[in-house]
Amino acid sequence: VIVMPAATPSPVRPVTWVGGPEGHLRLLDQTRLPTEVVYKDCTDVDEVWEAIKMLRVRGAPAIGIAAAYGVVLGVGEAKNATLAWPKAQQVIAHLKTSRPTAVNLFWALDRMERTARQALAPVMNLSSFQERLLREAHAIYAEDAAMCRAIGEAGAGLIPAGGGVLTHCNAGALATADYGTALAVMFVAAEQGKKFHVYADETRPLLQGARLTAWELQQRRVPVTLICDNMAAQVMKEGKVQVAVVGADRIAANGDTANKIGTYGVAVLCHFHGIPFYVAAPSSTFDLTLADGTGIPIEQRDPKEVTHGFGRQTAPEGVAVYNPAFDVTPARLISGIITEKGVIRPVTAENVRKVIGG
Amino acid sequence: VIVMPAATPSPVRPVTWVGGPEGHLRLLDQTRLPTEVVYKDCTDVDEVWEAIKMLRVRGAPAIGIAAAYGVVLGVGEAKNATLAWPKAQQVIAHLKTSRPTAVNLFWALDRMERTARQALAPVMNLSSFQERLLREAHAIYAEDAAMCRAIGEAGAGLIPAGGGVLTHCNAGALATADYGTALAVMFVAAEQGKKFHVYADETRPLLQGARLTAWELQQRRVPVTLICDNMAAQVMKEGKVQVAVVGADRIAANGDTANKIGTYGVAVLCHFHGIPFYVAAPSSTFDLTLADGTGIPIEQRDPKEVTHGFGRQTAPEGVAVYNPAFDVTPARLISGIITEKGVIRPVTAENVRKVIGG
């Protein structure tokens, strides 16, 4: 039997595989949080693609994991062993079109493709092929959970006792296999008995900070205050924040970091107020093929996310909207990058190489 | 007959007095924009207080004007001439409790109080008392419209031809008697044939930028793109913005400026990107009794504005929220203050005194 790796006892499980190779993927539908806890069972690859596109599952590591399980589902649709490899290739190519910025998606899918190619070599039957792919998806899941825990341990010392911590968007358990990246740092610090207060940017347009981060912190009883994005500067000015920690969707070889839109602004505000600004991310978020952030593609999303944010129209008909999903924070504004292999500090191409390898 | 001063041909009339001394106040209900254009008729002072508190009428100058007309309504409730003065005092004190930050409210009400005191001296009947107060409210209205036009003319030269202009919240015709303050600068520049593009911050939590500024600019055919507040930094980084112009709710003697929450963050981002940051406001927005911004009271508003943005709950039950309505931008981050008497630049206590007097 293939058993899904045990997660730490978390109140939230964004991604769960139910059953064996013929099983299905269960996603916590994050678009329904925090007012409803609803799971969506995906039984084919199109449902996984839709769930990623529509942000039912989101967060760079979680997207990669969901996509890996999506490959298992997709290969199950192959009619026979001969068609398994073309099917795997087709499914992988399709899943890559769901969201362009998070590198973990491509990283996980490339890993599944390598596994599929190797698994085919000894010519096997369809069910053992699926089994092999499921084992790999489970391995990606388990490694991510372990990396997140290690990130938390590497970064917990950066949380100032009695201080305030600002975060943007959601880089918590909901964004990963378990535990999170930026929030892992806070969760481990809290486990260590440190007292501190988190300020969560609501993160327009989709309010991941309000809906997800505030909810996760509440679940784990970490004190949190919700603010609108445009209040971050004032909160800093009032001396309420001693450090900022955010996640990442893709990090270039020099440390330039793509993350949720608004992250760059937070970094500039931290710089102005003399507040350290940290990125927390597993090594799978690094894209060492890119020398710097200029090569990172930035997803543009539907204007309706801005104009019809709350189910109600809140902007005039026909108004032009600019809605980039991400921005790139230059390495020079980042005090350090917290990875499962240690903290990269100062953030330079040389130090990235040293810690991450490559 | 007392006739309301003619406004410039504007598509928007936030505040209108209908009829003579026994008339009533008609407010464009700005909470219903941009999807509905609905007017609210106020026939007593409580309705005016509620309209100011609930932001049906908002923007520092418009609040002052609405409150002045509110005094006329309130005095009409006095049973006889002897009770007119105590009634006026009571009504003025009550209206002052509606919103604490905008100084124009206090400025307009103090002016109405002086007028009432002078009008009573020769002992008059109630209807001539009301008539005198209505004339004063009309004068406040007319002066504001003229000041706004003058602000537009003083600042139009600061709009770079072919460039981008960022604004935050709404400092347009909707916020004044007519024409606006920050937007007046853009409207006059457009009248002069200048081509430029406006980026409007949506301005959470109440989305005055999305609902009001984008709508006003559309009405006057000035090209506008709506962005979430957290996208301003990215838009600046991309070189799309050459100048920022915002309004003000209260300006201290040294130029420190209270304005809608998020304004301070915009000023910091402009500073970092080397983009000039201007405030546009009539001289009635200056509070020369305050040496600097530390003395400006900051209104804290209902957490529900953040957690239940537009009828739907978007944050977990019971989460703590910080919801200041305003922030204070220090004078050193302000490139200039555009007033009807000219541009104060650089922004120092001495230059404020020179241009504004006092």
**Residue A102: per-residue pLDDT:** 82
User: ipTM of this model?
Assistant: 0.93
**Residue A312: per-residue pLDDT:** 86
Beta-carbon separation of A269 and B264 below 8 A: no
**Residue B120: per-residue pLDDT:** 81
Q: Residue B288: CA atoms inside 13 Å, Cβ hemisphere, count?
A: 13
**Residue B13: per-residue pLDDT:** 86
* Confidence tier at B6 by pLDDT (50, 70, 90): low
d(CA A33, CA A27): 12
**Contact indicator for B329, B354 with CB cutoff of 8 Å:** no
Phi, psi torsion values for B330, nearest 5 degrees: -65, 145
Lowest mean pLDDT among A143-147, B55-59, B123-127: B123-127
Q: What confidence tens digit (pLDDT) does each residue in A301-342 have?
A: 999 999 998 778 999 999 999 999 999 999 999 999 999 999
Question: Annotated catalytic residue: which of B178, B229, B249, B256?
Answer: B249
pLDDT at B8 over 60: no
* Confidence tier at B296 by pLDDT (50, 70, 90): very high
**Residue B123: per-residue pLDDT:** 61
Give the mean model confidence (pLDDT) for residues B55-74.
96
Beta-carbon separation of B202 and A201 below 8 A: no
Q: What confidence tens digit (pLDDT) does each residue in B72-118 have?
A: 999 999 988 889 999 999 999 999 999 988 899 999 999 999 999 99
For residue B321, list chain A residues with Cβ-Cβ distance below 8 A.
Answer: 225-227
Given B231, B235, B310, which is nearest A314 (Cβ)?
B310
Q: What confidence tens digit (pLDDT) does each residue in B222-249 have?
A: 999 999 999 999 999 999 999 999 999 9
Given A204, A224, A225, which is nearest B204 (Cβ)?
A204
pLDDT at B10 over 60: no
The dihedral over CA atoms of A219, A225, A229, A235, expressed in degrees to the nearest 10, equals -150
The secondary structure of chain B, three-state, reads CCCCCCCCCCCCCCEEEECCCCCEEEEECCCCCCCCCCEEEECCHHHHHHHHHCCCCCCHHHHHHHHHHHHHHHHCCCCCHHHHHHHHHHHHHHHHCCCCCCHHHHHHHHHHHHHHHHHHCCCCCHHHHHHHHHHHHHHHHHHHHHHHHHHHHHHHHHCCCCCEEEECCCCEHHHCCCCECHHHHHHHHHHCCCCCEEEEECCCCCCHHHHHHHHHHHHCCCCEEEECHHHHHHHHHCCCCCEEEECCCEEECCCCEEEECCHHHHHHHHHHHCCCEEEECCHHHEECCCCCHHHCCCCECCCHHHHCCCCCCCCCCCCEECCECEEEECHHHCCEEEECCEEECCCCHHHHHHHHCC
For residue B202, list chain A residues with Cβ-Cβ distance below 8 A.
Answer: 204, 306, 314-315
pTM for the whole thing? 0.93
Give the mean model confidence (pLDDT) for residues A343-352.
98
Order of strands, edge to edge, in the sheet holding B257-260?
A: B286-287, B250-252, B257-260, B326-329
Tell me the shortest Cα–Cα distance from B332 to chain A, in angstroms.
13
Beta-carbon separation of A230 and B265 below 8 A: yes
* Confidence tier at A3 by pLDDT (50, 70, 90): low
* Confidence tier at A4 by pLDDT (50, 70, 90): low
From the number of C-beta atoms within 10 Å of its C-beta (0-12, 13-18, 19+), residue A6 rates as: exposed
Tell me the shortest Cα–Cα distance from A356 to chain B, in angstroms.
28
The dihedral over CA atoms of A236, A246, A29, A140, expressed in degrees to the nearest 10, equals -170
Mean confidence (pLDDT) of chain B = 94
Q: What confidence tens digit (pLDDT) does each residue in A250-295 have?
A: 999 999 999 999 999 999 999 999 999 999 999 999 999 999 999 9
For residue A237, the 8-state DSSP code is: H
Q: What confidence tens digit (pLDDT) does each residue in A93-119 have?
A: 999 999 988 899 999 999 999 999 998
Given A269, A312, A324, which is nearest B231 (Cβ)?
A324
d(CA B136, CA B115): 7
Q: What confidence tens digit (pLDDT) does each residue in A5-48 have?
A: 654 555 678 999 999 999 999 999 999 999 998 999 999 999 99
